[in-house]
Amino acid sequence: MNAEELRALQAPLKQSYRDDASTALVKARAEGSLDPSDIAIEVDAWHGKVTAGLHPAGGGTGKLACSADMLLEALVGCAGVTLRAVATAMGVTVRGGKVIAEGTWDARGTLGVDKTAPVGLTDISLTFDVDCDADKAKLERMVQTTERYCVILQTLKHPPTIDFKVA
């Protein structure tokens, strides 16, 4: 896909969103089924089911998906797609490359060993290693634009209000 094709594809969507902002609100949803025989949950993913369980640092075997890794995978997916769309819109040819997300979490916080230790990923880094025809300045603009429009990255940078319910 080139820039002209991308613009043609997105133009009617953008016009619809300008005309009626409510049409731009996209509901996202995830669901999983608790495993009654293990400390795990089977998550319905777009390509099938993924079973998430305890990380080895929390007592797991390492055979089940780690939810922290899943979060970073979502970040990589979103940042990669956004970067490709930005590159396409800017007319940059991308020959390949990688997007790498890394983060650290402190098992002491998760296991309640140290009440002052944080619970959750901290110090997330996102690295773009892109093989493209853009010079350094243009590549930096591409990454800055990706940062601005990546849904998952912006969600992490500006956490939403989360409502907890019991069904």
Domain spans of the chain, in order of start: 67-157
Residues forming a β-bridge with 89: none
Exposure b/e, 55-92, CB count within 10 A at least 16 = b: beeeebeeebbbbbeebbebbbebbbebbbbbbbeeeb
Per-residue pLDDT band at 142 (split at 50, 70, 90): very high
**pLDDT tens, residue by residue, 25-38:** 999 999 999 999 99
pLDDT at 40: 96
Burial of 146 (0-12, 13-18, 19+ CB in 10 A): buried
Class of domain 67-157: alpha beta
pLDDT at 46: 87
Percent of the chain scoring above 90 in pLDDT: 98
